[in-house]
Amino acid sequence: MTTIILALAFGYLLGSVPFGLLITRAAGLGDVRKIGSGNIGATNVLRTGNKGLAAATLLLDALKGTAAVLVASPWGVEAGIAAGFGAFVGHLFPVWLGFKGGKGVATYLGVLAAFSWQAALVFAAAWLAVAFLTRYSSLSALVAAVASPVALHLLDQPRHAAVLAAMSVIIFFTHRANISRLLSGTESKIGRKE
């Protein structure tokens, strides 16, 4: 149990590093929380007009999820799962930013990639297909978040599938405003500045 708690805490601290905020500030673009959706994730960084910074944010936010799982996994499967979940929660609720972080999609993908590269490919394929058809980042994330636990279950990874299912529920919660805008037809599309 001590190992699980330590893994969870380690994952949380790693996940709470706000790369989107740090990168945009370092680039002289100010506080990314003051534009668009107001969150620190890659989609909102893209609204600065800098695709390179958005890509860097996406990569770093994903890698903190992957790193958390890989570092903790030598202490057992449960430790890896706990660290991955901790990283995801840390990104959503970073103590350094008053517990107001990103929406978790990139970190979710990073954790998923550490669990199973095949399931991560399912996520990526679902996200890209929906994004191509609709240009809605939020809808793409929601569809991919439904597909991922199913993929893990089909790959015979029930413990990983269970925690990903819980993370998917949280993804829907963090996207509740997006869901409302999707239903009303007012959701912003990929590449559109606000």
CA angle 184, 188, 191 (to 5 degrees): 160
191 assigned to some structural domain? no
192 assigned to some structural domain? no
pLDDT for the residue 192: 58
- Please give the chain's pLDDT, 194 residues, in tens: 889 999 999 999 999 999 988 998 888 888 888 887 778 888 788 778 788 998 999 999 999 999 999 999 999 999 999 999 999 999 999 998 888 888 899 999 999 999 999 999 999 999 999 999 999 988 999 999 999 999 999 999 999 999 999 999 999 999 999 999 999 988 888 755 44
66 assigned to some structural domain? yes
Give the Cα separation of 146 and 41 in Å (integer).
Answer: 20
Q: How many residues are recorded in the chain?
A: 194
190 assigned to some structural domain? no
Burial class of residue 146, CB neighbours in 10 A (0-12, 13-18, 19+): middle
Q: Which helix (H) or strand (E) holds 61?
A: helix 51-72
157 assigned to some structural domain? yes
112 assigned to some structural domain? yes
43 assigned to some structural domain? yes
Q: For residue 163, what are the domain limits?
A: 2-184
12, 90 contact by CB (below 8 A): yes
Whose tokens are 């057992």? That residue is 76
193 assigned to some structural domain? no
Q: Which residues contact residue 46 at a Cβ distance below 8 angstroms, ignoring those fewer than 6 apart?
A: 54, 190, 191
What are the C-alpha distances in Å from 121 to residues 1, 147, 176?
32, 11, 25
- Mean pLDDT of the residues in the chain: 91
Burial class of residue 169, CB neighbours in 10 A (0-12, 13-18, 19+): exposed
Task: Give the number of domains in the chain.
Answer: 1
Q: Which helix (H) or strand (E) holds 19?
A: helix 19-26
pLDDT for the residue 194: 46
